[in-house]
Chain A
């Protein structure tokens, strides 16, 4: 009995030493476990996207549910329109491209970090403003403008307009059914599910549709696994005392 008690005491002592040793090593930035709302199906998000506006050709219409630290549902449509500048009829056609993307971030903090402490402001490279009451980040690039709105603190609606004046944005927003998004009720915040249905929906080429389950685990579990395994290995190596029977499974 005394032996067991002393073994436990020794184990505790060594454990504290192990922790102390860990602390002396390179600091490990702790990671929080992901939390958020489980996004709705991308199928439902399609309803909010612009349909096929007249004179524009729908080139792509895809929906995905993916994982990037948290579950994310995303739909995107790409429209194209070829125009000839009446003032320059000899020049080749100009291709106008519009990408409209709606992402249900599930309020995952990292996904909407760009909108933290949002207030309208102008920077050298970008601008923050409210557009139709939604906080928006506007980034101009050469020949392209990129506007991202945050709806309900959850849905990112992104417009990338190539070869178009910024004023076209209003038109694209008019075709976007924001009420579909605003009507989606938030579900309780939760931790990451054990498995996520990873989806790919290609409305123009349904043969490319795919689905699979993706198993995930938490950051804290990973950290715990690493710590436990390290201790176990030290026990196997005889660097830490072992409780009676603890390593019997290694015997045969």
Chain B
């Protein structure tokens, strides 16, 4: 202050005029500057504000465009059938998806629905701005090089980094100021969007896939040896850690056919660049990754960004495909009880519902009838007293209803095959036979069975009879085995009953021989005539090793007459006809009768084991067993060898013997049940017969042989070829039969069955040499499951009634093409594969399941690869690369790389004539069949058979790749409804969304009922009869979950069983559902509460909804 004052004092006085002006000017200038600055600032703010607003508008348009995409799907994909509709009445509308296109197949033809905003019909170069009429969705963001959707791919489907990015251009969809009104000056174009929908199921889902080992890999499981041996299924090891339910840590085995068999490593130059262990451990412990780039955590390549850019077109983290058949009904899953997520996506649609208020459509009873699974093993312990003073097996009601259900499908005209049904193709009887075959095979796939040689043989014997038919307790009482035949009443032959037995797995009788011998009595001129029979028993490839004594050959009818040597003898055991007066009283109507037929059986001694060729445990695949020696006599009892009628040679040196007999394979235990009948029938004409002249000379044997080419046709007497020889040498005992295909022939290559049971097997081509593999494969809950693929049903015989030996479900590969409609492979569409848990979600404190990470959930399965890989639209401006790697991944290492390449190329090429309706169609491409010595039907169809469960033709998940713009028409432009060259784009957003089509589990969002009580416990759990300890080490924990059926703990078994006296979680919705009287005893009870559909927490009607499971703006 002082200095200032001094300074002021030192200044001389001068004039201060103008200072005010200066000051004013300065102030004005400053204010002007401020004002201008403010104005400029305001302008910027306004522009920013407009830009923000426009961006928000663009986002809203983008979100709206996703709704458009969903609407395209929702309004075009057929809804599932109503629960009141059955296999006969459900609409037959099949649909398939491709990237960019839906195709719906109806009776009136095909309907194609583009899954994008429009195909480009004007050259983008015709305008200054190429994006006037269309937009390239694959165009990189400004300043970047990486394309949005796909990099160029080479002929093998791998990224081609040197090529230009492919153009993927679609038309814009306009948005007007007043939507729904005509465009005009007051209603100009204000925005537009474009999108294209990719099919996520046509990509590799890195959460679900892993990969089979290569042939050159150090593989302790020797997967390729198993594969070459024809094991069903071969097993391999991949990935570290505890990966499945009830399996000890470190066991990492997978069955070929599980989704983990799909080779994700096809995306790498070196398969070791994929960290299998970490990827699997992540899925197991943390669940599925939830964003596309998460794959990079498991990839060890030098330039991960480049790798990802090149491969992202083949990758997804979320793909699901529907488990509904072409008639809109849930597929049939192979599981013994209606468990929910662990075994497959059953819950909450485990049953075929039959509205009790509707007419009785299943004939047998009202209400819920049967499982959406191919049931075989339930309920034979539970009988119900009925109105006619007898008992009936509850589960048999279910089995019969399932037979009816399958027949309804078989009678249907299959979508895509004009007017043709399987009944028309095969005939009604063969269709019935095929349905029976499927029922028994499903039983064999799911029933529990001990694997020790002794007890396992017992279980195999019992379960492989016609046990899927169980008569009423009063039905033909004492008539064994006749009362256990399925008595089919074909619609085409009213009033007729045709007895049938289902196709059984081995062992089978291939040849029977009857041997007569004259034996001198004490008076050397008088002879008794002894007889005995031999049966040749055969075990098919892959069959288990079994104790043969449990499979006796029993005689069901025996009528012998002998005349000569001055005397006559005749014996008849068994009624001559079911209509005969003694049919209900003759003690020999029972083939075990101890004084007649029971003494004619042939049983192997205890130490003899039968097994497949190459089987261990001292087994052989073809064994001849003799009966005891008996003598021809008179009377009503069997006659020991030393007894019988004496024929006097002095009165005639020859005796004429007439024989009619029927025999079959029974089981022990299983007193009354048959496995195979020779032939099947009840009239005397249904017998093997012979008429011979026997020389009364000591020591001479006379033999008659009956041989069959395919023992599964043994119901028909005409299939048994007779041969006689006076020296005892008729037939080919112990050897290949006359006309029988060789063990390694193509015809016999599919003489197989669901692989399980005791024993081990070495390479059938070098029996006894090299490593032996256990035959048994675990159940459906296991990653090594015996039913890892629905393709294993291809071993079902399709020629039993039509007498076509060794004909099985044709998946291609055979000598005879399947030319008649509908093709056999449509049957695969009825079936769903089973999928073990991929995630430790069931053990952690009984919390909710992680549905996101569950492989198969609510009839929607993750990771299946869509064979419809062709990308639409197809034009000059949409040049998406051909997607081949996912298909290659499915079949990788099942053949040589070049063979797989040819196969994939053929699959791709075939789509030029349209999409695949059914996965089985890929078996018809040229390269499906191998050339060379391995080209048996079994090996030709192996890729499809093994991998069928990893394939689909339709998707539930779609990637929406879109762009949205906010538009301003510039002055002078008056085409109000269109974007004109020069119009202004005010904002643009690019996005990627994944839309999922799913079955709504109810308003609580939980399959089953998710309501808590005040203690935090699910209060609408299944009601079971006993408290199960919650300690997960004692049992599994499924019973605690809201989607669980009623279960109980049986003995020390970890696996819980269905509690047939319990009640399922409460179902609700507008349609009443219940269990019928018999079904309730077989499957447990269903409770139901009325509600609106919107308020239902557990509706049994499959309700389709859509949700966005992933959304990302690509330019943020």
Q: Which residues of chain A have a CB within 8 Å of any CB of chain B?
A: 22, 25-26, 28-29, 31, 62, 64, 66-69, 74, 76, 101, 103, 110, 113-114, 116, 123, 125-126, 137, 139, 141, 146, 148, 158, 160, 194-195, 198, 200, 208, 210-219, 221-222, 225-227, 229-230, 232-233, 236, 249-252
A139-B524, A158-B699, A230-B671 given. 20 additional CB < 8 A pairs? A28-B595, A29-B640, A68-B517, A68-B629, A113-B642, A114-B522, A126-B523, A158-B698, A194-B607, A198-B733, A210-B735, A217-B549, A221-B606, A222-B628, A230-B592, A232-B671, A236-B671, A250-B381, A250-B462, A251-B380
Nearest residue, chain A, Cβ from B733? A212
Complex alpha-carbon distance, A86 and B22, angstroms: 177
Determine if B729 and A200 form an interchain contact, defined as CB atoms under 8 angstroms apart: yes
For B523, the chain A residues whose CB sits under 8 A away are 123, 125-126
Determine if A114 and B624 form an interchain contact, defined as CB atoms under 8 angstroms apart: no
Complex alpha-carbon distance, A58 and B322, angstroms: 79
Which one, B418-426, B484-492, B597-605, B981-989, is touching chain A?
A: B597-605
For A113, the chain B residues whose CB sits under 8 A away are 522, 642
Determine if B448 and A210 form an interchain contact, defined as CB atoms under 8 angstroms apart: no
Complex alpha-carbon distance, A126 and B510, angstroms: 45
Complex alpha-carbon distance, A232 and B697, angstroms: 44
Determine if A212 and B624 form an interchain contact, defined as CB atoms under 8 angstroms apart: yes
Which residue in B548, B650, B669, B697 is a CB contact (below 8 Å) of A229?
Answer: B669
Q: For the complex, is B728 an interface residue (Cβ under 8 Å from A)? A: yes
> Given A26-B637, A232-B669, is A215 in contact with B525 using a C-beta cutoff of 8 Å?
no
Determine if A219 and B592 form an interchain contact, defined as CB atoms under 8 angstroms apart: no
Complex alpha-carbon distance, A55 and B520, angstroms: 32
CB distance from B980 to the nearest CB of A (A): 74
Determine if B649 and A67 form an interchain contact, defined as CB atoms under 8 angstroms apart: no
For A103, the chain B residues whose CB sits under 8 A away are 699
Q: For the complex, is B455 an interface residue (Cβ under 8 Å from A)? A: yes
Q: For the complex, is B871 an interface residue (Cβ under 8 Å from A)? A: no
CB distance from A161 to the nearest CB of B (A): 14
CB distance from B554 to the nearest CB of A (A): 11
Which residue in A66, A125, A213, A250 is a CB contact (below 8 Å) of B624?
Answer: A213
CB distance from A21 to the nearest CB of B (A): 11
Q: For the complex, is B701 an interface residue (Cβ under 8 Å from A)? A: yes
Determine if B729 and A148 form an interchain contact, defined as CB atoms under 8 angstroms apart: no
Complex alpha-carbon distance, A138 and B701, angstroms: 22
Nearest residue, chain A, Cβ from B620? A213
For B668, the chain A residues whose CB sits under 8 A away are 225, 229
Determine if B642 and A252 form an interchain contact, defined as CB atoms under 8 angstroms apart: no
Complex alpha-carbon distance, A198 and B286, angstroms: 65
For B735, the chain A residues whose CB sits under 8 A away are 210, 212
Count A/B pairs, Cβ under 8 Å. Answer: 154
Determine if B380 and A250 form an interchain contact, defined as CB atoms under 8 angstroms apart: yes
Determine if B447 and A215 form an interchain contact, defined as CB atoms under 8 angstroms apart: no
Q: How large is the interface on B (under 10, 10 to 19, 20 to 34, 35 or more residues)?
A: 35 or more
Please encode chain B, from 714 to 744, with 1 for each CB lying within 8 Å of some chain A CB and 0 for all others. Answer: 0000000000000111000111000000000
Determine if B336 and A252 form an interchain contact, defined as CB atoms under 8 angstroms apart: yes
Complex alpha-carbon distance, A28 and B595, angstroms: 7
For B699, the chain A residues whose CB sits under 8 A away are 74, 76, 101, 103, 158
Determine if A230 and B594 form an interchain contact, defined as CB atoms under 8 angstroms apart: yes
Interface residue ranges of B561-614 to A (CB < 8 Å): 592, 594-595, 598-599, 601, 603-608
Nearest residue, chain A, Cβ from B450? A249
Determine if B525 and A68 form an interchain contact, defined as CB atoms under 8 angstroms apart: no
Q: Interface SS of chain A: helix, strand, loop or mixed?
A: mixed
Complex alpha-carbon distance, A121 and B983, angstroms: 134
> Given A158-B699, A217-B603, is A194 in contact with B733 using a C-beta cutoff of 8 Å?
no
> Given A66-B728, A69-B629, A213-B623, is A252 in contact with B448 using a C-beta cutoff of 8 Å?
yes
CB distance from B605 to the nearest CB of A (A): 4
Q: For the complex, is B625 an interface residue (Cβ under 8 Å from A)? A: yes
Complex alpha-carbon distance, A229 and B592, angstroms: 9
Interface residue ranges of B788-839 to A (CB < 8 Å): none
> Given A139-B525, A252-B336, is A25 in contact with B671 using a C-beta cutoff of 8 Å?
no
Complex alpha-carbon distance, A155 and B626, angstroms: 24
CB distance from B675 to the nearest CB of A (A): 15
Which residue in B522, B620, B650 is a CB contact (below 8 Å) of A125?
Answer: B650
For B606, the chain A residues whose CB sits under 8 A away are 194, 217, 221
For A74, the chain B residues whose CB sits under 8 A away are 699
Determine if B607 and A114 form an interchain contact, defined as CB atoms under 8 angstroms apart: no
Determine if A217 and B605 form an interchain contact, defined as CB atoms under 8 angstroms apart: yes
> Given A67-B626, A141-B649, A222-B601, is A233 in contact with B381 using a C-beta cutoff of 8 Å?
no
For A64, the chain B residues whose CB sits under 8 A away are 728
Complex alpha-carbon distance, A76 and B697, angstroms: 13
Complex alpha-carbon distance, A236 and B626, angstroms: 29
* 28 residue pairs A–B, Cβ–Cβ below 8 Å: A22-B594, A26-B636, A28-B594, A31-B628, A110-B642, A114-B524, A126-B523, A126-B525, A139-B524, A141-B649, A148-B520, A194-B605, A198-B734, A211-B734, A213-B620, A213-B734, A215-B604, A215-B625, A221-B606, A226-B599, A229-B668, A232-B669, A249-B458, A250-B380, A251-B380, A252-B378, A252-B447, A252-B448
Q: For the complex, is B377 an interface residue (Cβ under 8 Å from A)? A: yes
Determine if B605 and A216 form an interchain contact, defined as CB atoms under 8 angstroms apart: yes
Complex alpha-carbon distance, A141 and B206, angstroms: 91
Complex alpha-carbon distance, A146 and B701, angstroms: 18
CB distance from A163 to the nearest CB of B (A): 15
For B552, the chain A residues whose CB sits under 8 A away are 225
For B521, the chain A residues whose CB sits under 8 A away are 114
CB distance from B419 to the nearest CB of A (A): 42
Interface residue ranges of B98-156 to A (CB < 8 Å): none
For B534, the chain A residues whose CB sits under 8 A away are 214
For A208, the chain B residues whose CB sits under 8 A away are 729
> Given A194-B607, A232-B669, A250-B462, is A126 in contact with B524 using a C-beta cutoff of 8 Å?
yes
Determine if A215 and B548 form an interchain contact, defined as CB atoms under 8 angstroms apart: yes
